[in-house]
Structure 1
Amino acid sequence: MKPRLENKTALITGAASGIGSAIAELFAREGASLALLDVDIAAAETLARELADSGHRAIAVQADVSDADEVQHAVTQAQEALGRIDILINGAGINVFRDPLTLSEADWQRNLGVNLQGAWHCARAVLPSMLEASYGHIVNIASVHGHKIIPGSFPYPVAKHGLIGLTRALGLEYAARGIRVNSISPGLILTPAAERYFESCPDPEAERRRQTELLPCKRIGTSEEVAYAALFLASDEARFINATDLLVDGGRSQLYHA
């Protein structure tokens, strides 16, 4: 079977761990050349070497996505090394959960800077060449927090609601020019960040069981399952899907808790 991303080049942000690294590994297997962007350049370089050793084409580039100049420099590096970027996966993100009245200005700005502005900085950097080619797919990794409010999670959902809005606005803005913009909203996924949360609880196993029981499927999702959703949306198989958000949460957001 022909690789689904053969002759395509993808820039993946937050590529060094969790969902981002799962997307990178799957996209490589499906034939894409990869630019792995992460603030942790050492981890990105390690993944790039592992992929290269397996016969894939991958480079690492460094940027804090909240810094537009750093993003533009990293995108230029990727384009010089790999050519035009066909696919952008905006996977970089940070968890910011604070009490609204004690939230610092720095944490507010950092939340928006990485989780919302970061996606815009990356999209703005790749869009000119995508528009010139009349071809490009952007997939933003949003969250169930962009659909439902979980008490105690402020201000993270503010950014994720904005990211879904950005997805819809950009998708419609450039739909007639060959560009598609979609987003994925993962629920509870067993990422390193989720593992750290469980370990921070007084009884990690009890909290893991509690969270698992809240899911209709009675299991926590995996990063690879999110990666397959990204693969579909980034491929030409989804060419009539635009400005849409795909929930990948095991059905939890549809469940009414009495």
Structure 2
Amino acid sequence: MKLANKHIFVTGGAKGIGAAIVQDAADEGATVSFIDIDVAAGEKLAAQLNNSGKKAFFAKANVANFEELKSAFNQAVSKFGDVTGVVNNAGVNSHADPVTMTDKEWDDFFAVDMKPVWLTAKLALPAMRKAKGGSIVNICSIHGRLTYPGFFPYGAAKSAVLGLTRNLALDEGKHEIRVNAVSPGYILTDLTKGWLAAESGRTEKANSIQPLGRMGEPNEVAKVVTFLLSDKSTYVSGSDWAVDGGLGARSA
């Protein structure tokens, strides 16, 4: 029970990697609050957790809207007390052209994939500073360091998240608050499975470049996240944990 007596707040927690993080945190003894725009999936997961004797709270909120995010965060605090750990998981993909992408499309994308990492810190840090402790984990991507054509501006956003992670770690260390990033590679979420199914042979091709010969599962990311949220990682801060099966070590 690595997270006993912890209150973890997760963004984008209804499906995929986010849901796996919510589940694993609850399994490790945490009280978990999470938000998402998918109400049906969020309510279903919260009900499953509560019905199994765990403590979970779900609220609908769009991380790009600070008032919605703030309201959901305050509801979580009112229900379960101060947040001791934050996981910034919410995000969207972008396959834009640098010439045709509009200013609004750029702003809308960064409002989901980068800005909320700061906004959740803005909400959680006052109580963490007062308590002299806390952990923030930002879900980044292998694209923060390595990318390939067609992922503009996704790589830029994930690189920015890594930079923000480092600076928050340096700035908040004096309050004994730790900030780290986790960068998944190919993970078998519903989104990934849909992409793989869209073209014959795509799964085999993707697996052929994986050093472990397979893609990862969401719970394999979650286990690293819960470690970083726990008191078993008290001297880990400002780091980027690759959960990519070794893909980032491979040369083209």
Report the TM-score when normalising by structure 2.
0.98
- Cα 1:7–1:226 shift into 2, 3 Å: same
1:29, 1:192 → 2: CA distance?
22
- Give the corresponding residue for 1:223: 218
- Give the corresponding residue for 2:58: 60
- Give the corresponding residue for 2:8: 10
For 1:120-167, what per-residue CA distance to the aligned partner results, in whole angstroms no more than 9, with x for missing partners? 111111111111111110000000000012111111011000000010
- Give the corresponding residue for 2:243: 248
- Give the corresponding residue for 1:106: 104
Q: How do 1:38-117 residues align onto structure 2 when only pairs under 5 Å count?
A: 38-117=36-115
- Give the corresponding residue for 2:124: 126
Question: What letter matches 1:226 in structure 2?
Answer: V
Aligned-residue offset at 1:42: 2.5
Question: 8 Å contact 1:65–1:119 — kept in the other structure?
Answer: no
Question: 8 Å contact 1:136–1:180 — kept in the other structure?
Answer: yes
Q: Percent of aligned positions with the same letter in both sequences?
A: 37
1:198, 1:109 → 2: CA distance?
29
- Give the corresponding residue for 1:167: 165
> Unmatched 5+ residue regions in structure 1?
none
2:119, 2:249 → 1: CA distance?
32
Question: What letter matches 1:18 in structure 2?
Answer: G
Question: What letter matches 1:242 in structure 2?
Answer: S
Paired residue secondary structure (2:138): strand
1:89, 1:27 → 2: CA distance?
11
Question: 8 Å contact 1:66–1:121 — kept in the other structure?
Answer: no
Pair 1:214-2:212 in alignment: no
Aligned-residue offset at 1:39: 1.5
2:132, 2:40 → 1: CA distance?
34
> Unmatched 5+ residue regions in structure 2?
none
- Give the corresponding residue for 1:31: 29
RMSD: 1.0
Equivalent residue pairs, number: 252
Paired residue secondary structure (1:211): helix
